[in-house]
Amino acid sequence: MAVRTNPEAALAERLAAEVRAQADAGAERIDWPALLAVAGVSRRQVDRIALAELGETPARMLRRLRGLAAVALLEAGADVLNASLRAGYSGPGRLHDAMVRSRGFTPGEIRRRGEGVSVLWDVVATSIGPVLLGATRRGLCSLRSCVRIPPEEHLAEMRSDWPLAEFRRDPAALEPVACELIEFLEQRRDSFSPEIDLPPGTPFQQRVWEELRRLEPGETVSYSELARRVGKPRAVRAVASVCAANQLTIAIPCHRAMRKDGSLAGFRWGIEWKRRLLEIEREALERRRAG
């Protein structure tokens, strides 16, 4: 029996191959005439097909591939100028902005694997159990439940990502964000929205986290709807995996994502923790509406 092929999937593979070739050649922007020659369809159709089949437009794919190339060069010891030019950036300034936006670290910090970066941390008691807070100079970079996983394990994981960074326990420095969190969980504050140092992630992960942060306390979304909102409706499982990988719980409210039927799916910090967070937010929302 003949195997049916999906014409749009096949076209998406050709588009991806062309974008990879442009990235390998150090392109800063998509060469649209070359891409459209491969596609044989309009630019609008190219974006639609790429988004549906690949989860990202050609422009986003090129930015992601350039970012990966730059990180590889930096980690291999290339200086920032050479890494930026070889990866297709017009200069160190453009690379700096791209790395901070997508990975939360400057090119120099990536090159040094965290050398010169200070991560301040503390364990804070809250109404739903102890949490580990971590912050860089740019904002909160970690918020993890210590109910099931001890702080030592969390710190070991963080140190493995940035082995040369300085980790220092500093309750005083973290007191403002700790107080904001405690007040939110005790329903004495309507929201918890600290400055955050967004963790490193792919463009797809970044889009999911950004969409989650648009949700208001008490608002929920299904994984399938979340996948649709980030332009990848078929990637429901991938969206759930992104939620599971979140290391900034509550600040990036992955607990507000659930199954299509409204039931609670697995949660990195435990279903009971997720249920309690949702209860806290629903109770606060009902009081606001009643008042």
Catalytic site positions: 254
Q: What is the DSSP secondary structure assignment for residue 189, as one 8-state letter? A: S
Closest residue by Cα to residue 118 from 131, 105, 130 = 105
The helix/strand/coil state of 187 is coil
Amino acid at 40: G
d(CA 279, CA 143): 19
Contact partners, residue 202, CB within 8 Å, separation at least 6 = 64
- Return the CA Rg of the chain: 21
Alpha-carbon distances of 127 from 52, 71, 181, rounded to whole Å: 42, 40, 10
Per the listing, tokens 């993890």 go with 144
Amino acid at 243: C
Query: Two tokens at 280?
Result: 């806290």
SS3 helix, strand, coil % of the chain, rounded to 5?
Answer: 55, 10, 35
